[in-house]
Structures are given as C-alpha cells and as structure tokens.
Structure 1
Amino acid sequence: MADEICFYRANEKPYGPFSNLFKRDILFEGECFPTAEHAYQAGKPRRDAVKSWLMAAPSPALLSMAAHGLYSWDVRSDWSKIKFSRMRAVLWAKFTQHTDLEKLLVSTGDEILVEPPPHEHPGQSALGTCRWQREKYVGDTADGSKE
C-alpha cells in the first residue's frame, strides 16, 4: 500500500503548495485568480455580485469560510454536480501552469495526498472520516492520474 503525504497549511514545507490556499496565480476560464481556492469558489455563486464579494475577501482562508457559509439561494443549483469536476480542472490548471509545482507533485510518486484539517483525523467521527475521504480523493486527482 502506498504511503500518505499529509498537508494542510499553505506555508508548510515541503507540501504546503498542494493547499488550495497557496498563493500562486492561476489562469482559469479566462480569469487570473490569486489561488486555486479563488478559482474554485468563483464558480459557486449564482450571481456576479456574490462572486465579486467572495473574490474581495482579504485572504484565501476567509474566502473559503465565506464561500462555505453562502445561503443556498446564493449557490448555483448544479453546484453539487459540478464541484468535483471543477476542482479537478482548477488543480490541472494550477499544476500545469507552474513547472515547480508540477515537479513537486510528480515527486510524490505513488504516495496518496491527504488534506485533513489538523482537528479531524480518520475514524474520529463519521463527518471527519467523510471529509477526510473527500479531501483525499480531491487531493489525489489533479488530472485524474497524478502523472
């Protein structure tokens, strides 16, 4: 079985760049975003005004918190159907636009990339396990194969 590489904070060495909060410009859908989190969350709101409000957040972490707290009527109706494919597309853009990040990703070989928040560990709770599994899936599929 492959080993796991855990990362969470964008400033952690050496794998912090795998975080969606890591500051690196990404060109996605014709727009330049300061982080992968920005590119991902830009697709969530129904209205441009809500998108602009999210994009104006003072930090990537606050953007993430604000986006997770949106009311259901502010979230596009198909978000649950498209969010994983959007994340894969954002990660693909991130790692193909920056050769240093691509090299770091390739250097992980067959290891499984896991982004568990420090307060959640597998098996701690059903929700924690579910989130951990989802983050494990998203983190391991930048292009579907990690190659």
Structure 2
Amino acid sequence: MTIRFYKVNDKYGCFSNFSKHGFELDGKYWPTSEHYFQAQKFVGSIYEEEIRVVESPMDAANMGRDRDKPLRSDWEEVKDEVMKKAVLQKFQTHPDIREILISTSPEEIIEETTGDYYWGCGTKGTGKNVLGKILMEVRSTLESGE
C-alpha cells in the first residue's frame, strides 16, 4: 500500500508542511514547517522574521516564492537539508504525529501534488517526490531512536 497525502484535512494531512504542528528550531518558534522552510530562503534578512510571524502557511509560502526578495545564494544546495531539518523537528516535537508517521512503515509515502514535480509527484506522477522521500528518511530515523 502506498501512503498518499496532500491536504491538511486528509487522513495523513499531518505530513503536509501546512499542518499546524509548530516547533522550536534555531532558537525561534515556527508555526508550521512551511513557515520555517520558506523563511530559510532569506536567513539573516528582515524577510526571515516577516515570514516566521505571518498568520497562515499559505501566506508564508507566497512570501517565500516572491522572487522580488533576494534569495540566499546557496539555496539550491541547501534546500533539501533545510526541509529535512524542519520535518524531523516537527515529528520529534509532536508524539501524536510521530506515531502516525512510524505506523506507515514500510510503505512508500508520496506527496500527491498537481503542479510540483520536485517536492511531490506532480500531475503525471513522474515527479521526484522529495518531500515523500524525506518523510520516509525521517520515519527511519525515528524508528531507530536516533
């Protein structure tokens, strides 16, 4: 069985970066993993804090995707590790969703997006599914008790 997720209100909605499972990381509280991820595109700038405190994860996503803001020069090299750090912290912080993630083992996890062929599977199902792979990696880490 393959585990598919996308919307926050679905069965595995807690896997979404938009799920309201906040955590502390880098000395600050982040309302969602989306807030953390998008803010890291502008780490050390005023935009980082603006994104951290914005109300919704959709607002954080829109602000992070704004290419009028100066994206950090190493973003393409670090974005996967930034995502992994946020996802790991989210699941380490919340025992209820940690158990949900662990309960999916050893199934494949796929972010069933439509337009995102990097983080998700995309409309055609041919995307890289990087977020799904990160979730499976985090699951393994949590299972081993690291």
Moved more, 75-84 or 44-53: 44-53
CA distance in 2, matches of 1:66, 1:8: 20
**Who is 1:8 aligned against?**
6
User: Which residues of structure 2 form unaligned runs of 5+?
Assistant: none
Q: Which residue of 36, 52, 57 maps to 1:55? A: 52
Q: Which residue of 72, 93, 99 maps to 1:97? A: 93
CA shift, 1:134, in A, is 2.6
Alignment length (residue pairs): 140
Note the alpha carbon deviations across 1:7-59, whole angstroms, 9 max, x for none.
1011212x111111000121111111110111222211155222233234331
The 3-state SS of whatever aligns with 2:100 is helix
Note the alpha carbon deviations across 1:70-99, whole angstroms, 9 max, x for none.
34x611111111111111111111111111
CA distance in 1, matches of 2:101, 2:28: 24
Q: Are 2:75 and 1:79 aligned?
A: yes
Check conservation: 1:26, 1:34, Cα contact below 8 A: yes
CA distance in 2, matches of 1:111, 1:146: 15
TM-score, structure 1 as length reference: 0.80
The 3-state SS of whatever aligns with 1:32 is strand
CA distance in 2, matches of 1:112, 1:17: 16
CA distance in 2, matches of 1:16, 1:62: 18
CA shift, 1:135, in A, is 3.3
Q: Are 2:109 and 1:113 aligned?
A: yes
TM-score, structure 2 as length reference: 0.80
Check conservation: 2:18, 2:34, Cα contact below 8 A: yes
| Bigger relative CO (Cα 8 Å, ≥ 6 apart) | 1
4+ residue runs over 4 A deviation: 118-125, 143-146
CA shift, 1:119, in A, is 6.0
The 3-state SS of whatever aligns with 1:104 is helix
Moved more, 58-67 or 137-146: 137-146
CA distance in 2, matches of 1:96, 1:133: 22
Identical aligned pairs, as a percentage?
Answer: 29
The 3-state SS of whatever aligns with 2:62 is helix
Letter in structure 2 aligned against 1:9: K
The 3-state SS of whatever aligns with 2:67 is coil
